[in-house]
Every structure is written in structure tokens, then in C-alpha cells.
Structure 1
Amino acid sequence: MIKACIFDLDGTLTRTQASIARPINMTLKYYGLPEQPVEKFNYFAGDGIKNALERALIASGDAGASHLEDGLPMCRKWMDEDPLYQVEPYPHVVDSLHELKRRGIKLAVFSNKPHNSAINVVETIFGKGIFDHVQGQTDRIPIKPDPTGVFEILGIFGVKKSEALYFGDTNTDMMTGHNAGLFTVGVTWGFRPRKELEDYHADMIIDSAADFPAVVDKVNKSVFQ
């Protein structure tokens, strides 16, 4: 039976494009480069702040991303100053998480945000009691699609790969889930279109966070009965 659900954060649980765009656009402005529209961060984001900044620099005319190494510390500082800028949960997320919790399922977040920022966002938006573990990027836990963070969570929970689901909204998430050997669920309300999730072989695709509990039921029925 499914005993744990592991969720990506940005684009899966929370709408965070503006919070990612803000510090990166501040960095671009510092170097006299044109700021990028928030909607472009659907594709800039997803692989950690360094990759997002590099993509934005290139899009703004810094073809070689020459300001990346110097600009990254500033960008991280500005992100840490206001990581909750215009952040909000997607519809139905909160109710579905509480339903999973009511069923006794362990809940975790695995994010490419820096670890402390991930904890800050999760605890502020959802409170301190809903998730059993929050894992962000650290020196020991590399960014996704490396599955190390998933294995860390499974070890903490004491559950097998076959007893956990992974939810995410991007190709990086689909690769992460599959690299870890988990049943991987793509969500269509986040940063990327359905086709990307299909192309990266999501095991299931859902269109509403209200379906989180139904996914557990379907997997339990198809795999364990």
C-alpha cells in the first residue's frame, strides 16, 4: 500500500513564478540588462536558482552568462530577503494534503530551492504540522533530477520505493521520480504543459490537486490488489 507521497514545491504545491522572477530580475537590472516577463520563468525555473539565473541572463542578452558567478550571490541574497513574494498554494492543495494526512500517509516536499528557503515557504504557507519532512538543496543533497533527496526521504520515513508516490510539474520532476524508481505523477497546473509530462513518461497525469487522494486509491487498487 502507498504509505508516503513526495511533492515538488514550485509549480506543484505553490504558485511561485513571481517569487523566482523577483530576485533574478533584480540581478538583471543591476547589470543593466532587460528584466524578463514573469511567464518566462515557467521555463527558466525548475532546476535550481543557478540554472534559472543563467537562462535569464542569456535571454536578456548576456549570451555567455558572464555575470552568472558574480550575480548568483546577490540573487540568492535577494531571494532570501523575500522568498514568499506573491507565493500562494494552488487550488485544492491544502484540502487534499489534509485528506492524505488524515489517512495516515507520510507527506514530504523535495525542492530545488535552497533548503532553508524551502522550509520557510512550506511552513509559512502550510504550517509546521502538515509535512513530515521538507528537503531542499544542500551541499549533501544535489538538485533534481538527482534522486538522492528522494532516497533521503524514503530512509527517514522507513518506506520502500513501491510504497511511495512522487508528484511534480516539469521534465526534471518526471526524471527525478523515475530515477528514484517511484510511480511518478505529473500535474498540469504548474510550470510546464501536459506534452512535456507525456514526453518524459509520467506514469499518471492529473489536472487538479483535488485528485491527490484519488491517485493513491488508483495506485493501491491497480498495484496492490
Structure 2
Amino acid sequence: MYRLCIFDLDGTLLNTVNALTYTTNVTLAAFGLGPIVPEQTKRMVGDGYRTQMERALKACGDEKLAHYEAALPLYMENFAKYCMKDVKPYEGIEHLLEYLRKKQVKIAVFSNKPHDQAVENIETIFGKNYFDCVRGEQAGTPKKPAPDGALIVCREMGMTPKECLYLGDTNTDMKTGIAAGMDTAGVTWGFRDRAELEALSPKYIVEHPSQVEMIVEKANMPNEDLNERK
């Protein structure tokens, strides 16, 4: 039975690729580099903004990362301004979230995005206190794919990992959910392709949020109902 769904943010709940691309390009331009395009961004994000900027700099010719240290605080300054640019939920996400709330399944966000921007993204789109927990990157907690943050969310919600369904769109997310001992679902509508997700053997691969509703419905069905349907 699933009592908590933990969602990745970028590429799972929200399409943030334009905001991430724009912020990266504004940062790169300060050093005479770039631009990159959204399809490149999709491959660069997911492991925190430091790794994202490392990948972007190298892609634009700064192989020795001469601008890396200067780029990090500049990226964060720019991201504070542009983190909501063109951000919108994926088709079917709002219906899925309302379904989960109606079924009294807790909903949480766990992201490698800096915490303040993760909260801004979620509260701007869905409203304050819509999610039971929102957790971005925080000092002292290893970022994904380490399972620590996911397990902290689980404990804060009073759940065990076996009661959680973890959903994400990258190999980093698959590693995170599996390492946390949670049933893990790879979503194909985000930033990475199906093959990347399948390579990590998550319990589920879903192509639309409505499939998550069916997974939860089946998992939470009383045993007598299951027996009747056999």
C-alpha cells in the first residue's frame, strides 16, 4: 500500500527546461560562452547546479573549467531571477495530484534543485502548503542519487520506505528511489528517454500521469477486492 508519493521536480512535476536553459545561457554569456539549447540542458541537469554548470562550461569549450568557480555564484544569482521563466506542469500532473489528495495519499517533492528555488517553483504553480513536504538541496544532506534526502522526507511524513512510491525522470532518480528501498517509477515525459530509465530496472515505467493513478489504485485496493477481480 502506498501512503506517500515522492516526486522529483524538474522533468517530473514541472517542465522547467526553458528556465534552466535561460539561466545557464545568461551565466555563460558573462564569460563569452554559449549558448546551449534545451535539448542539451535536458542531459546536463539532474545532479545539482554545480554539476550542471560544469557540464555546460565543458560543452561550450571551457574544458579546463577556468570559469567554474566564478560561474557558480553567478548562476545562483541569475537563477533567483529566472527560475520561473516559462515553467508549467506536465499534462495530467494536476489531475494526478488531486487524485492522490482525494485518496489521502501524502505528496512530497524531493529535488536536487536549490531549496529556495524548489519551493518557489512548487508554491508558484500549485500554491503554498499544497504539498505535504518540499525539499530541495540543503547543506549537510548528500544530493541524489544518495537516498538520504528521500529517507528524511519519508521519516518526516511518518512513513516507512515500503509505503512510498518514488517518481522521477532520470537515472539519478532511479538510483535514489531504489537505494532508499522504495518502489520506484520512471516517467518518460521528462528530460531523459525510456532506455535510460529501463537500464536501472525500476519497478514501473510510466508514460502518462494517469498510469500512476492506476498503479496507486491497484496497490491500495483492499485484499478482498483484489480476490474478487482474480
Q: Do these two structures clear the TM 0.5 threshold for a shared fold by scoring above it? A: yes
TM-score (norm 2): 0.94
Deviation, structure 1 residue 83 = 1.1
Q: What are the equivalent positions in structure 2 for 1:161-200 lying under 5 Å apart?
A: 161-200=161-200
Aligned to 1:112: 112
Aligned to 2:42: 42
Question: What secondary structure, in the 3-state scheme, does the structure 1 residue paired with 2:112 have?
Answer: strand
Letter in 2 for 1:116: D
Deviation, structure 1 residue 96 = 0.8
Deviation, structure 1 residue 221 = 5.7
Contact persistence 2:23–2:83 (CA under 8 A): no
Unaligned runs of 5+ in 2: none
Aligned to 1:101: 101
CA distance in 1, matches of 2:180, 2:214: 22
Residues 151-184 of structure 1: per-residue CA shift (max 9 Å, x gap) = 1111111111110100000000000001101000
Contact persistence 1:23–1:79 (CA under 8 A): yes
Letter in 1 for 2:172: T
Q: How many residues align?
A: 225
Q: Which has the larger radius of gyration?
A: 2
CA distance in 1, matches of 2:153, 2:51: 24
Residues 113-147 of structure 1: per-residue CA shift (max 9 Å, x gap) = 11111111001111123210000001022211111
**Would you say 1:54 and 2:54 are equivalent positions?**
yes
TM-score (norm 1): 0.96
Aligned to 2:11: 11
Distance 1:221 1:103, change over 3 A: closer
Unaligned runs of 5+ in 1: none
Question: What secondary structure, in the 3-state scheme, does the structure 2 residue paired with 1:135 have?
Answer: strand
Question: What secondary structure, in the 3-state scheme, does the structure 2 residue paired with 1:158 have?
Answer: coil
Distance 1:66 1:3, change over 3 A: same
CA distance in 2, matches of 1:186, 1:218: 18
Taking only aligned residues, the RMSD between alpha carbons, in angstroms, comes to 1.6
Distance 1:185 1:125, change over 3 A: same
Deviation, structure 1 residue 218 = 3.4
Percent of pairs with identical residues: 41
CA distance in 2, matches of 1:127, 1:111: 18
Deviation, structure 1 residue 63 = 0.7
CA distance in 2, matches of 1:27, 1:116: 19
Aligned to 2:151: 151
Moved over 6 A (4+): 222-225
CA distance in 1, matches of 2:119, 2:28: 27
